[in-house]
Amino acid sequence: MPVQKFRTLEEAERALWTEPAGATLIERIRRVWHRSTVLARRRFPTGVRKYRTLEEAEADRQRWLRLEEPPASSDR
């Protein structure tokens, strides 16, 4: 994406506008979706699991939710 320079805030605001039927709209939407997929990736366990009780199923769910959490920041 090229760097753009603006002299006024109005020029910058006009550069953000995309026409609803414009040719670049689909491409911009695709890039936003791709970026959000990369940044906020959710990983679900694969396969089918069977549980004997609801408690066992909930424990497994909590286990993979904990594995999905980002590590705590050490600068606290």
Q: How many CA atoms lie within 13 A of 37 on its CB side?
A: 6
| Helices and strands (DSSP H and E) totals, the chain | 3, 0
Domain boundaries, the chain: 9-68
Query: CA distances (Å), 60 to each of 12, 15, 42, 48, 54, in order?
Result: 50, 49, 16, 12, 10
CB 19 within 8 A of CB 28: no
* Residue pLDDT tens, the chain, 76 long: 678 899 999 999 988 877 777 778 888 889 999 998 888 777 777 789 999 999 999 999 898 888 766 655 555 4
What predicted TM-score, i.e. pTM, was given to this entire model? 0.39
Q: How far is CA 58 from the centre of its chain?
A: 25
